[in-house]
Chain A
Amino acid sequence: MSEQPYVIEMRHISKAFGSLQANDDITLQLRRGEIHALLGENGAGKSTLMSILFGLYDPDSGEILKDGKPVQIKDPNDATALGIGMVHQHFKLVECFTVLENIILGAEDTTLGFLQKKKARERVKALSEKYGLFVDPDALISDITVGMQQRTEILKMLYRDNEVLILDEPTAVLTPQEIDELMKIMKNLTAEGKSILFITHKLNEIMEVADRCSVLRKGKYIGTVDVKDVTKEQLSEMMVGRPVQLQVDKKPAEPGEPFLEVKDLCVRSISHRDKLAVKHVTFTVHAGEITCIAGIDGNGQTELGLAVTGLSKVESGHIYMKGRNITKDSVRKRAEDGMSHIPEDRHKHGLILDFTLKENMMLRRYLEPEFQNHGFIRFDEAEKYAQELVDEFDVRSADGVNSTARSMSGGNQQKAIAARELKHKHDLLVAIQPTRGLDVGAIEFIHSEIVKKRDAGAAVLLISLELDEVMSLSDRILVMYEGEIVGEFDPKKTTVQELGLYMVGARRDTKKGGKA
């Protein structure tokens, strides 16, 4: 075994948070120049393991070896000194700094104490061109989309010439084209001798890019396999512990009355207030139908979602629900009229991170008589309700319903939001990236719940960047490009390739989406 040149070896790592054993005797070996996927369900302990390697947590026991020598990684500075870089699942960016400032933060080039931004800018430019990670170096982080923030994070690591790269679900927010690009970058990087630890739920990506794959389940080490020797089904079974349905199982839709009608809608862009992000969009969602808006991140889907759910104002146009004009209705009015909403950004909108899970589960229902009595919150009812949701959706956390949302892993946070919104009685579900950051087991469950809602007669507006999800879940696909609807498709009669052409603007149906 000693002749095997492992660049990183983690031996018998254990780590507990309170009563939750996040890592239990885990061993992970990363060969030089390989892409090693780390696969596991939400809360399986992948992020914890990587945080230990990056020096964010101290392991309770176990040792880490770099190039065969035991090392102590006490904080991220140690990790950086050893050439280990990490892109976190939740970005660590300074919101009020520009992209460039974020990239050089902590690795600034200075002369006599003055920042050498010009040099840095050129390097960043060269890197972003080389890898096709285009970002505006002078845009503020708070102004750019989640997708672009991700790109900034990846650039940040590339800028530091790290040797071992940890990518914590890097593709969760990228478009199919961007993912292809990233895959290419990853292969290039390993060709140059860098080693990549790649945390993901997406089996397709593992099959495509990884050399080996280690699987964790509920904090325990299950095994390491050569990717070329296994199938997707085998991998998912290793991960979940049972066979998993990878395709959504659903009956053909029986569309009913038009439920949500969007007419000639225009919405301003979040990052550039003087521009329109949604341009004269018209579409209808029928009861008993899952209508999906597909497209590359940043083509107006975010703004469309915010406008439909009432979180932002519309510039012009109208939104009708059950034939009633709701364009100017408040968020609460829309919710009371039967709109559920799984938001795109779970930290910004979906959760009050400093509240407990119990308090978060009643976030949109606290005024209902079930949860309050003359203005006094019925905490016992809230706890009972939260416990029900937690049990049904298998939301895992250290202290159950009394854990703060902040302490939970991203996947479990997402599950909590999905549980809350799916259990809320509704006729219209607006689901934006509903399975972002979830593992196949949880995706299967959430998808089947959404289909159940549809079969019960609810209208579903799905906004997703994941083409797999778009193809398997929706009954009707609308492709959005630069703020306009450029095509309508039946998922059974189209292909990913065809959708891709519309998504990048290479083709469009002139009759749809207003001006062409």
Chain B
Amino acid sequence: MKDFFSKLREKPGFKSVTSSILCIIAGILVGFLVMILLSFFNDRTSIGNAFQGLLVLLGGPFSSGRGAYIVTNLGDMIFYATPLIMTGVSVAIAYKTGLFNIGAAGQFLMGMMGSLLVALNINTNGNPTLGVLVWILAVIVGAICGMLWGAIPGFFRAVFNVNEVIVCIMTNWIAANIVSWVFGTMPHLINSGSGKSGYLITTAVTGNGTPTLGLTRIFKGSYIDAGIIVAILIAIIIHIILAKTTLGYELRACGANRDGAKYAGMNEKRNIILSMAIAGGLAAIGGALYYLNPGIEFKFDSAYGSLPDYGFNGIPAALLGSNNPIAVIFVSLFIRFLNVGGGNLPSAGFNKYIADVIIALIIYFAGFSKFFKDMLSKRKKKAEAKANEAEKAASAQAAEQVVEQTPALDNTEKEGDKS
């Protein structure tokens, strides 16, 4: 058992995973402290409520009381994790190339726009096979829109050395306005029924919704669809590209040392644009997968005023996952897990927005991952130093018995070449 752990410790990923877990634990503990404090300020709650709250939060979808809700909650958790995985991987791949993709929100919107323009304008109601084909086309068009959108900050960075963060922020708001404007010109896509205003029709109307592949039969009553499978597959593919291919090698080299990449004969400008385009495409697929679900409506008339939080939540998802696409899958699911649990906090006597505070705390602590990583390295070093000293003490004892080995200080010690 001890051997197993020491072997595990040697693995390069061990420190990343452990530090991420420590971040999460630290965030939850601070969140717990917040609940304890709050429980004192409210007459109806006591410290017992804080413990109950912690259990509810950590119970996630399982803390909803009635058994029938559990599968629905699980299904929703998985569905809402899907776009988060995509934006998380988007931020991660850009980061590996030394770029900060804060434009995932805009790319997400562009992906949504491209895919909905296809999926809502073609009516395949009653023909499921055609519906799937249109769905695939919609995702691809969305991805292309996002790639082009992401390539813009990449282009400015590569050619004019304009900081990508600035351009990303600008493209975010431009995207938000474009989306409102484009759908505003298409009255035939507006949902005029059910007393709502400013909403688009959904893919339920046109029959091009994401296939559910029977998942809704397991997770009854939830939004779940095949999008999660697509997202996981894409995350795995991106991981393989980064770790195993020449393209990934180039992107990582450009991220780590741009001059070195140039010296190696790589076209660092092309790689920067490419990296941002891929990142944009990934975030866009997130937007497409989210809004192609037949149950999700898009409120276009106020879209210009706010940016989708999926875009920004990709940043902590990537951070907590140490920019590893595979880890981002788990981190995204976990964030959603906490969200669902947080929704049940009122049952413990807390306002449900406390859940957002606690999730925000965990996300803040994601910034500490390097701190925890360094802490782990130090611990390891200390342990090694101790082992070394013990060894040395043992060998010194042995050596003393054989011969006194004080180096001659002020003159040369004749020594043959032993090596």
Q: Which residues of A contact B (CB under 8 A)?
A: 1, 14, 16, 18, 25, 27, 29, 60-61, 218, 221-225, 238, 241-242, 311, 330-332, 335, 341, 343, 348-355, 359, 363-364, 366-367, 372, 375-377, 379
Q: Is the CB of A352 within 8 A of B253?
A: yes
Query: Which residue of B has the minimal Cβ distance to A330?
Result: B265
Nearest first, the 10 A-B pairs at minimum CB distance are A332-B265, A223-B412, A241-B417, A349-B263, A354-B256, A331-B265, A363-B264, A223-B413, A352-B260, A352-B257
Residues of A within 8 A of B398 (CB): none
Q: Can you list, as one digit per residue, whether each of B267-311 has a CB less than 8 Å from chain A (1) or not (0)?
A: 100000000000000000000000000000000000000000000
Q: Is the CB of A366 within 8 A of B413?
A: no
Residues of A within 8 A of B260 (CB): 348-353, 363
Contact of A343 among B246, B263, B384, B413 (CB under 8 A): B263
Q: Is the CB of B389 within 8 A of A61?
A: yes
Q: Is the CB of A377 within 8 A of B249?
A: yes
Complex Cα gap A301–B259 (Å): 18
Contact of B249 among A224, A351, A366 (CB under 8 A): A366
Q: Can you list, as one digit per residue, whether each of B396-419 has a CB less than 8 Å from chain A (1) or not (0)?
A: 000000000101111111010101
- Cβ of B81 within 8 Å of any chain A Cβ, yes or no, is no
- Cβ of B392 within 8 Å of any chain A Cβ, yes or no, is yes
Residues of A within 8 A of B245 (CB): 375-377
Query: Which residue of B has the minimal Cβ distance to A1?
Result: B409
Q: Is the CB of A16 within 8 A of B249?
A: no
Query: Which residue of B has the minimal Cβ distance to A402?
Result: B12
Residues of B within 8 A of A351 (CB): 257, 260
Q: Is the CB of B257 within 8 A of A364?
A: no
Residues of B within 8 A of A222 (CB): 412-413, 415
Q: Is the CB of A353 within 8 A of B417?
A: no
Q: Can you list, as one digit per residue, whether each of B366-398 has a CB less than 8 Å from chain A (1) or not (0)?
A: 000000000000000000110011001000000
Q: Is the CB of A224 within 8 A of B409?
A: yes
- CB within 8 Å for A221 and B407 given contacts A363-B260, A377-B249: yes
Complex Cα gap A335–B263 (Å): 10
Residues of A within 8 A of B256 (CB): 352-355
Contact of A223 among B246, B264, B388, B411 (CB under 8 A): B411
- CB within 8 Å for A311 and B263 given contacts A372-B246, A377-B244: yes
Interface size class of B (residues with CB under 8 A): 20 to 34
Query: Which residue of A has the minimal Cβ distance to B407?
Result: A221
Q: Is the CB of A366 within 8 A of B411?
A: no
Instruction: With both chains docked as a complex, state the minimum distance between the C-beta of B261 and any C-beta of chain A, in angstroms.
Output: 7
Most buried by A among B261, B264, B415, B419: B264
Instruction: With both chains docked as a complex, state the minimum distance between the C-beta of A5 and any C-beta of chain B, in angstroms.
Output: 14
A contact patch SS: mixed
Report how many A-B pairs have Cβ atoms within 8 Å.
103
Residues of B within 8 A of A61 (CB): 389, 392
Residues of B within 8 A of A60 (CB): 385, 388-389, 392
Complex Cα gap A16–B391 (Å): 12
Residues of A within 8 A of B264 (CB): 331, 352, 363-364, 366
Contact of A225 among B384, B407, B411 (CB under 8 A): B411
- Cβ of B188 within 8 Å of any chain A Cβ, yes or no, is no
Instruction: With both chains docked as a complex, state the minimum distance between the C-beta of A424 and any C-beta of chain B, in angstroms.
Output: 12
- Cβ of B262 within 8 Å of any chain A Cβ, yes or no, is yes
- Cβ of B247 within 8 Å of any chain A Cβ, yes or no, is yes
Complex Cα gap A504–B247 (Å): 47
Instruction: With both chains docked as a complex, state the minimum distance between the C-beta of B55 and any C-beta of chain A, in angstroms.
Output: 42
Complex Cα gap A361–B265 (Å): 14
Q: Is the CB of B263 within 8 A of A341?
A: yes
Complex Cα gap A399–B145 (Å): 45
Q: Is the CB of B253 within 8 A of A355?
A: yes
Complex Cα gap A224–B265 (Å): 47
Instruction: With both chains docked as a complex, state the minimum distance between the C-beta of A336 and any C-beta of chain B, in angstroms.
Output: 8
- CB within 8 Å for A348 and B392 given contacts A218-B419, A241-B419, A367-B246: no
Complex Cα gap A516–B46 (Å): 91
Complex Cα gap A359–B257 (Å): 13
Instruction: With both chains docked as a complex, state the minimum distance between the C-beta of B21 and any C-beta of chain A, in angstroms.
Output: 24
Residues of B within 8 A of A224 (CB): 409-412
Q: Is the CB of A376 within 8 A of B263?
A: no
Query: Which residue of A has the minimal Cβ distance to B408?
Result: A223
- CB within 8 Å for A359 and B249 given contacts A60-B385, A330-B267, A350-B263: yes
Instruction: With both chains docked as a complex, state the minimum distance between the C-beta of B33 and any C-beta of chain A, in angstroms.
Output: 33
- CB within 8 Å for A377 and B419 given contacts A14-B392, A353-B256, A353-B257: no
Q: Apart from A29-B409, A376-B246, what are 20 other A-B pairs with CB-CB below 8 Å? A: A14-B392, A61-B389, A221-B413, A224-B410, A224-B412, A331-B264, A348-B257, A348-B259, A349-B260, A349-B262, A349-B263, A352-B261, A353-B260, A354-B256, A355-B253, A363-B253, A363-B264, A375-B245, A375-B247, A376-B244
